[in-house]
Amino acid sequence: MKRILVTGGAGFIGANFVRYQLEHGDEGLVIIDKLTYAGNRASLAGPLQSGRVILIEADIADRTAVDKAFHDYSPVAVINFAAESHVDRSIDDPTPFIDTNIVGTYTLLEATRGYLRQLSTEGRRDFRLLHVSTDEVYGTLGESGLFSETTPYAPNSPYAASKAAADHLVRAWHETYQLPTLITNCSNNYGPYQFPEKLIPLMILNALEGRPLPIYGDGGNIRDWLFVEDHCAGIWRVLHHGRTGEKYNIGGGNERTNLQIVDQLCAGLEALQPAASNEALRRRGLTSYTQLKTFVADRPGHDRRYAIDAAKIRAELGWAPALDFESGLLRTIRWYLENRAWSDTVLAGKYRLERLGEGS
Ligand code: NAD
Ligand code: DAU
């Protein structure tokens, strides 16, 4: 069986991509994942039983382990999802962001370079390495304009800087060593299996438990939201049809302020699980989810607005999001309501939905 090597496959987007690939592609998958707090076997329960998915618990910065995976499974492609992904955590402690996002990506590039040297001309010709990156590398937008592939990099958080560094390494390995690389820079994802430190799942779980919904600053910061399956479809297209050495922006065209998101979540929850029937709210004498909204101190260095110009991937590769934001958000709320056991499992570690990243 031909196999794709997927790093970070036990995380949010990785686990969704594994499902997407099983449904749409023929290749099997070899996952390398360190299983940090954000990576969970529970997110791969079904796929691991498919007979097409192998999970290796290892660090992408461990050259020996990465070399062994290449040697044992001879992948036809690599997709690098593995990363420390949470901006607030990067403010509290940038170290793992440097280790995984920069040193880990470097190690993966070098291991890939070594592996390609041993491949036949034909194997080398078809091979691709897709590095999954973020729109945060571009910094912040003012009230108008969009991020395009030629927008200069201006990262503002330790997370964004570490992702920008990784993108530069990938670019350099293409230019210098002709590694057949592709980079995707995507906007904010939402959907099933997202670790509940991120805005949308955090607000859903807090609301269900009658806890405050912490809105940073004035709630006016804007993100461009994309349903995770649409991101996976974009990655799949870029992997199969993108031009090596190129980068592709992926975004949903769904700009919303954080306050709009929280209000929409409250409305969605009210429709699917009315506050009147929620024991946790009743105990606190509350009659609606919106009463939980709480403005808190802003995130240090908080980027004001992200918005993607996805014209390149749309025109070159015919990609477009399939799901509108309203349907996607309701689908996501329903998923978290129906999968409380998954949330309980991934929250069994140290993290308990508390505020992160306040800075000093
Ligand atoms: P996530 O935090 O949910 O998952 C990251 C995964 O990587 C986890 O399974 C974790 O265990 C694994 N991992 C971490 N360090 C590792 C290491 N050293 N070696 C091997 N595995 C390691 O992240 P996500 O939201 O799924 O993001 C995936 C990728 O997409 C990241 O590169 C992120 O920067 C990028 N991205 C995310 C978004 C978003 O909105 N979530 C948007 C654009 C781009
Ligand atoms: O833009 C892509 C990026 O989107 C990805 O590269 C990152 O991996 C991903 O985490 C995400 O980064 P954000 O910082 O935008 O996501 P987060 O969910 O942390 O925050 C979204 C917005 O909501 C942001 O403006 C901060 C705000 N926020 C967040 C939390 C956790 C709040 O107001 N309250 C909160 O409790």
pLDDT tens across 24-45, in order? 999 999 999 999 999 999 999 9
Report whether residue 132 contacts ligand 1, using a CB cutoff of 6 Å.
yes
- Whether residue 46 is contained in a domain is answered as yes
pLDDT tops 90 at residue 74: yes
181-186 and 293-296 strand pairing: unpaired
Active site residue 224: no
Average pLDDT over residues 147-157: 98
Number of domains in the chain: 1
pLDDT tops 70 at residue 258: yes
Percent of the chain with pLDDT over 90: 99
pLDDT tops 70 at residue 241: yes
106 to 63, 68, 103, 216, 232: CA distances (angstroms) = 10, 17, 5, 34, 23
Would you put residue 172 in left (φ > 0), alpha (ψ -120 to 50) or beta?
A: alpha
Residue 197: CB atoms within 10 Å: 21
**Distance from Cα 21 to the centre of ligand 1, integer Å:** 17
pLDDT at 4: 98
Report whether residue 305 contacts ligand 2, using a CB cutoff of 6 Å.
no
Would you put residue 245 in left (φ > 0), alpha (ψ -120 to 50) or beta?
A: left
Dihedral sign for Cα atoms in the order 242, 100, 10, 231: negative
Name the residue with the closest Cα to ligand 2, atom 34. Answer: 215
Catalytic residue among 33, 88, 136, 224: 136
pLDDT at 360: 67
**Distance from Cα 118 to the centre of ligand 2, integer Å:** 41
Active site residue 159: yes
Average pLDDT over residues 94-105: 98
- Whether residue 121 is contained in a domain is answered as yes
Non-local CB neighbours of 303 within 8 Å, separated by 6+ positions: 136, 139, 140, 156, 157, 160, 221
Query: Which residue type sits at 37?
Result: Y
- The ligand placed nearest to the CA atom of residue 79 is 1
- The ligand placed nearest to the CA atom of residue 194 is 1
Substitution site in 90, 146, 199 for ligand 2 pocket (most atoms within 8 Å of beta carbon): 199
pLDDT at 244: 98
Average pLDDT over residues 71-79: 98
pLDDT tops 90 at residue 180: yes
- Whether residue 179 is contained in a domain is answered as yes
pLDDT at 216: 98
Catalytic residue among 159, 216, 289, 306: 159
- Whether residue 341 is contained in a domain is answered as no
- Whether residue 354 is contained in a domain is answered as no
305 to 137, 308, 355: CA distances (angstroms) = 13, 10, 21
Are the beta carbons of 132 and 186 closer than 8 angstroms?
yes
Active site residue 246: no
pLDDT at 79: 99
- Whether residue 209 is contained in a domain is answered as no
CATH code, domain carrying 318: 3.40.50.720
Substitution site in 80, 188, 353 for ligand 2 pocket (most atoms within 8 Å of beta carbon): 188
Catalytic residue among 135, 167, 230, 255: 135
Name the residue with the closest Cα to ligand 2, atom 25. Answer: 221
Ligand 2 atom with least separation from CA of 88: 19
Ligand 2 atom with least separation from CA of 186: 2
Non-local CB neighbours of 203 within 8 Å, separated by 6+ positions: 213, 261, 262, 265
pLDDT mean across residues, the chain: 97
Are the beta carbons of 133 and 85 closer than 8 angstroms?
no
pLDDT band at 154 (very low <50, low <70, confident <90, very high): very high
Report whether residue 14 contacts ligand 1, using a CB cutoff of 6 Å.
yes
Report whether residue 262 contacts ligand 2, using a CB cutoff of 6 Å.
no
pLDDT at 359: 78
- Whether residue 358 is contained in a domain is answered as no
pLDDT at 261: 98
SS3 readout for the chain? CCEEEEECCCCHHHHHHHHHHHHHCCCEEEEEECCCCCCCHHHHHHHHCCCCEEEEECCCCCHHHHHHHHHHHCCCEEEECCCCCCHHHHHHCCHHHHHHHHHHHHHHHHHHHHHHHHCCHHHHHHCEEEEEEEHHHHCCCCCCCCECCCCCCCCCCHHHHHHHHHHHHHHHHHHHHCCCEEEEEECCEECCCCCCCCHHHHHHHHHHCCCCEEEECCCCCEEECEEHHHHHHHHHHHHHHCCCCCEEEECCCCEEEHHHHHHHHHHHHHHHCCHHHCHHHHHCCCCCHHHHEEEECCCCCCCCECCECCHHHHHHHCCCCCCCHHHHHHHHHHHHHHCHHHHHHHCCCCCCCCCCCCCC
- The ligand placed nearest to the CA atom of residue 189 is 1
Report whether residue 198 contacts ligand 2, using a CB cutoff of 6 Å.
yes
Average pLDDT over residues 260-278: 97
- Whether residue 59 is contained in a domain is answered as yes
108-145 tens-digit pLDDT? 999 999 999 999 999 999 999 999 999 999 999 999 99
- Domain hosting 81: range is 3-195+227-253+301-324
At 79, phi and psi to the nearest 5?
-120, 120
